[in-house]
Amino acid sequence: YKLVATNECVFTFEGSNIEKHGGRIYDLGRFALPGARDMVTWCGKDNLHRGTKDELWTVMHSAAYEDFKPELATCHKVTCAGHSLGGALCDMWTHLANNGVEDSTDTDCWTKLAWW
Q: pTM for the complete prediction?
A: 0.80
Q: Which of 55, 24, 23 is nearest to 40 (CA)?
A: 55
pLDDT of residue 114: 77
Partner residues linked to 80 by β-bridges: 11
pLDDT of residue 36: 67
- Residue 81, pLDDT above cutoff 80: yes
Portion of the chain with pLDDT greater than 70, in percent: 78
Portion of the chain with pLDDT greater than 90, in percent: 22
Query: Which residues in 8-29 are b (16+ Cβ under 10 Å) and which e?
Result: ebebebeebeeeeeeeeeebee
Q: What is the pLDDT of residues 29-50, one digit of tens each?
A: 666 777 767 888 888 888 888 8
Mean per-residue pLDDT, 101-116: 72
Coil, helix or strand for 49? strand
Mean per-residue pLDDT, 60-86: 90
**The one-letter amino acid at 52:** T
pLDDT of residue 91: 92
* Structure letter (DSSP) for residue 33: S
